[in-house]
Amino acid sequence: MNHHLPEHFRRMAESYIPHSPLYEHLAKNTADDPELLALAESAAGDPASNLFLAAAHSLLLEGKPHALADFYPSVSKNPPPESDPYPHFHSFCLENEEEIRTILSTRRVQTNEVKRCACLLPAFGMAGRLSEKPLALVEIGASAGLNLLFDRYRYVYGNGNTLGDERSPVEIRCETRGATAPPIPEGMPETSSRIGLDLAPLDVRRPEDASWLEALIWPEEYEYRAPMLRRAVEVVREDPPEMLRGDALDLLPEVLSTIPENTAPCVFHTFTVNQFSEEMRERLTNILAEHSKVRPVYRVSIEWIYSERPLLRLAVFNGGSEKERVLAACDDHGGWIEWRE
């Protein structure tokens, strides 16, 4: 057995606080359950706990009958029982072991949370102003490409700033914290192209892929996150961005080389490089630095690595050198932004 797996589940249990008390409890108990840990070892991607919990959630959303469903607000409309859900979770996973094992080996954690666009938007605006050119967006770990269409949504910030088409079916509300308001651009940053890179891109025109995105939503947040996801899915179905399958670090050099000269390459990623090794992170930086010897490259990221909260960063690569700025702290699902500049 992977000796790091129990500690991984314990650590992830803490990350579910306060968003999902159910997942916190299930992950904490799974850490001490040899049978379920052996099953979780089938996970092909990281984080294994998110993938494992989403696999069970997907089966419940499909209508698998079991007493466990009563504990999931996403499945049951009744108040959850006061008894311990873990024995039911244990039995559910073992009773559906083969189906869960298949999901773990074929699916990945590809949460495509559109609310994060409210945090990305100010950084895209800054990149557009600095470059004075339309942005050529390239997303690493694009999932289904929902965030590549950030300019098709309507934004309402807690400080009263609004931006976007009032007729958009997707309205994203974001709380603003701290003394400094984020610099929301007066108009949407001009975007010339959008390309998503992913090991296994999702196509929301396929019902099974759209359903998997819903399964990745935590049960306690399903009621308000799932409807927004569905509306964003409809936007993407009308005009899906270009998606390339493969290792982003292998694909990126060629993608950057094909971007027209009159546009500004803007590579972005959210909660993706936390799954990279240090070597892979260094390789990504080197690719961007190398291409910047030809022209400036902009990198926008929201990641949760070596910090108490997820951080929004903007890096400018020029002449082989990088200058990075930490712009803001963010909620991991885009619920709030605290500007730091």
Residue whose entry in the numeric block shows the structure tokens 């932004």: 337
Minimal CA–CA distance to 289: which of 318, 257, 253, 250?
Answer: 318
DSSP, collapsed to helix, strand or coil, labels residue 141 as coil
Using pLDDT thresholds of 50, 70 and 90, give the confidence band for residue 18. confident
- Whole-angstrom distance, CA of residue 135 vs CA of residue 116: 18
- Whole-angstrom distance, CA of residue 199 vs CA of residue 222: 26
Those residues whose C-beta lies under 8 Å from the C-beta of residue 250, and which sit 6 or more positions away, are none
Minimal CA–CA distance to 110: which of 39, 215, 251, 237?
Answer: 215
Give yes or no for a contact between 334 and 155, defined as CB atoms under 8 angstroms apart: no
DSSP, collapsed to helix, strand or coil, labels residue 45 as coil
Which of 3-7, 47-51, 143-147, 295-299 shows the lowest per-residue confidence on average (mean pLDDT)? 3-7
Strands (DSSP E) along the chain, which ranges?
A: 135-140, 154-157, 162-163, 171-177, 191-198, 242-245, 264-270, 297-303, 311-318, 321-330, 336-339
Q: Is the pLDDT of residue 247 over 90?
A: yes
Residue 36, token pair as written in the block:
């379920």
Q: What integer pLDDT is reported at residue 196 of this predicted model?
A: 98
State percent of the chain over pLDDT 70. 100
Q: β-strands 336-339, 171-177: how paired? A: parallel
* Separation of CA 80 from chain center: 28
Those residues whose C-beta lies under 8 Å from the C-beta of residue 62, and which sit 6 or more positions away, are 211
Q: What integer pLDDT is reported at residue 341 of this predicted model?
A: 76
Q: Is the pLDDT of residue 3 over 80?
A: no
Q: Where are the domains of the chain?
A: 5-106, 114-339
Question: Cα dihedral sign for 56, 269, 113, 258?
Answer: negative
Q: Is the pLDDT of residue 1 over 70?
A: no
Give yes or no for a contact between 163 and 185, defined as CB atoms under 8 angstroms apart: yes
Q: What integer pLDDT is reported at residue 138 of this predicted model?
A: 98
Q: Is the pLDDT of residue 307 over 80?
A: yes
Supply the mean pLDDT for the chain.
95
Give yes or no for a contact between 22 and 219, defined as CB atoms under 8 angstroms apart: yes
Q: What integer pLDDT is reported at residue 99 of this predicted model?
A: 98
